[in-house]
């Protein structure tokens, strides 16, 4: 006998176990937790899944997640649309916004180029970015992908695509993190920090 | 600004983050995964939650989880109801069944006594067990709680409650696990294995 749990409980365990990073044991624990919830809370959980899946889509302009016709940033009349900051994931938008300094628009790629994981240019939102730039009115594109091999390769690839449009393509500065300690800076970061040194 | 995610997406992240052992980062990853599902799959996930919560309840006899009037074991006419194996959690039923040797009935406590966590006798299904035994027809109660402080204390507490009914109360043998290596047996296990030695 495989299990002595009732079928509808097994189904719930299977569902949780299908989530990324959730093993069989955790799935069981989560399913037990759902049973322990008041019925209204369990309904609300189910509703949140349906709701998010139905309502959330990508902004037709910047590809960020939204549940309106445009995302709040693209819908706002107070952003500088001649600058586009390109990020890999929706969560990266919040990171850039945290600087409280950036007032341009965004473009979310939903991934980075990764030959090993079979992610090619057609699998992320590069075409949409090129279209935006080709329409004109864009002065600068800031590449804000992660400072790793795949992020760098993606930034390089996109910058080559955009060069023909005569747009300035920049990328975030590499260097020692503010508040960090020189002692803990790795070789690569220190090298980039030296290369990028500025007069004070 | 706290977040730039759409409200219905934030709600879903909150729901996942409310699950035990799921942090904010994991909750975000799970919510993204839900968005990436085909709509039918997301609906099925939501349905599994509602379904399990609505259908699954505890068996009125043994307190194990079931979605029928009785659990399959209590409903089966082929089990020996004069023996009750007492376990802490529904998943422990499967562990005992795995021996393929046990043919009695079960009783699921849904927890163990734990003064530190404020779990007292009224918080687990002890009353239901005493009622079952008091009705007569029970020959033996096998305590199969975990071999730790709380499991032992729970077994001890219950055995004292049941003694007045003249029922035999036993507990699973402690000892070296089959297929294990003496070298790795801890002191307590070795002591119990010596105490419980049997003639061959």
The tens digit of pLDDT for each residue in A127-153 reads 999 999 999 999 999 999 988 899 999
Q: Running DSSP on this structure, what letter comes out for residue A125?
A: T
Residues of B in contact with A33 (CB under 8 A): 19-20
Q: Which candidate from B6, B46, B71 shows the least CB-CB separation from A50?
A: B46
Split at pLDDT 50, 70, 90, the class of B173 is confident
Split at pLDDT 50, 70, 90, the class of A2 is very low
Q: Which candidate from B37, B43, B56 shows the least CB-CB separation from A6?
A: B56
Q: Which candidate from B9, B42, B53 shows the least CB-CB separation from A37?
A: B53
- pTM of the model as a whole: 0.74
Residues of B in contact with A5 (CB under 8 A): 65, 90, 94
- Token couple for A35: 């049973």
Residues of A in contact with B33 (CB under 8 A): 19-20
Task: Say what percent of chain A tops pLDDT 70.
Answer: 97
Q: What are B32-90's pLDDT values in tens digits?
A: 999 989 989 999 999 999 999 999 999 999 999 999 999 999 998 899 999 999 999 99
3-state class of A82 per DSSP?
strand
Say whether residue A29 is in contact with chain B using an 8 A CB cutoff.
yes
Contact between chains at B67 and A34 (C-beta distance less than 8 A): no
Distance, in angstroms, between B96 CA and closest chain A CA? 11
Q: Running DSSP on this structure, what letter comes out for residue B45?
A: H
Contact between chains at B52 and A30 (C-beta distance less than 8 A): no
Write the Ramachandran bin of B136: left for phi over 0, alpha for psi from -120 to 50, otherwise beta. left
Distance CA A48, CA A164 (A): 45
Is pLDDT above 90 for A165? yes
Residues of B in contact with A119 (CB under 8 A): none
Split at pLDDT 50, 70, 90, the class of A3 is low
Averaged pLDDT score across all residues of chain B: 90
CA B168 to chain centre: 23
Say which range, A83-92, A107-116, B7-16, B187-196, has the weakest mean pLDDT.
B187-196
User: Tokens 């349906």 — which residue?
Assistant: A50
Is-contact A161 A134, C-beta < 8 A?
Answer: no
User: Tokens 């329409």 — which residue?
Assistant: A135
Distance CA B119, CA B111 (A): 8
3-state class of B169 per DSSP?
strand
Contact between chains at B66 and A12 (C-beta distance less than 8 A): no
Q: What angle do CA B156, B85, B193 make, to 5 degrees?
A: 60
Which is higher by pLDDT, B96 or B60? B60
Is pLDDT above 60 for A76? yes
Question: What residues of chain A, 130 to 149, have a C-beta less than 8 Å from chain B?
Answer: none
Split at pLDDT 50, 70, 90, the class of B195 is confident
Say whether residue B165 is in contact with chain A using an 8 A CB cutoff.
no
Is-contact B9 A52, C-beta < 8 A?
Answer: yes
Domains contained in chain B, CATH given: 7-55 (1.10.8.420), 65-194 (3.40.1360.10)
The Cβ of residue B31 has, within 10 Å, a number of other Cβ atoms equal to: 26
**Predicted pLDDT of residue B1:** 43
Q: Which candidate from B53, B68, B72 shows the least CB-CB separation from A39?
A: B53
Distance, in angstroms, between B74 CA and closest chain A CA? 12
Distance CA B75, CA B61 (A): 10
Which is higher by pLDDT, B117 or A177? B117
Instruction: Calculate the alpha carbon distances from A112 to A117, A154, B200 in Å.
Output: 10, 6, 66
Say whether residue B55 is in contact with chain A using an 8 A CB cutoff.
yes
Is pLDDT above 70 for A70? yes
**Predicted pLDDT of residue A95:** 84
Locate the chain A residue with the closest alpha carbon to B13. A48
Most confident of the ranges A3-7, A50-54, B176-180: A50-54
> Across residues B181-188, what is the average pLDDT?
79
Q: Running DSSP on this structure, what letter comes out for residue A173?
A: P
> Across residues B184-193, what is the average pLDDT?
80
Q: What are B14-28's pLDDT values in tens digits?
A: 999 999 999 998 999
């Amino acid at each position: 006998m495989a299990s002595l749990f009732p079928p509808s409980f097994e189904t719930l365990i299977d569902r949780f176990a299908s989530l990324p990073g959730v093993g069989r044991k955790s799935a069981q624990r989560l399913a037990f937790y759902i049973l322990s919830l008041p019925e209204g809370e369990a309904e609300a959980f189910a509703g949140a899944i349906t709701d998010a899946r139905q309502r959330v889509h990508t902004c037709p302009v910047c590809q960020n997640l939204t549940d309106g016709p445009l995302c709040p940033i693209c819908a706002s009349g107070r952003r500088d649309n001649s600058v586009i900051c390109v990020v890999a994931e929706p969560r990266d938008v919040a990171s850039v916004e945290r600087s409280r300094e950036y007032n341009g628009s965004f473009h979310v790629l939903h991934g980075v180029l990764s030959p090993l994981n079979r992610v090619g240019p057609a699998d992320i939102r590069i075409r949409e970015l090129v279209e935006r730039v080709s329409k004109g009115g864009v002065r600068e594109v800031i590449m804000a992908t992660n400072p790793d091999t795949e992020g760098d390769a993606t930034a390089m690839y996109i910058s080559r695509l955009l060069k023909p449009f005569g747009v300035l393509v920049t990328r975030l500065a590499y260097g020692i993190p503010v508040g960090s300690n020189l002692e803990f800076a790795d070789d690569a970061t220190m090298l980039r920090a030296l290369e990028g040194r500025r007069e004070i």
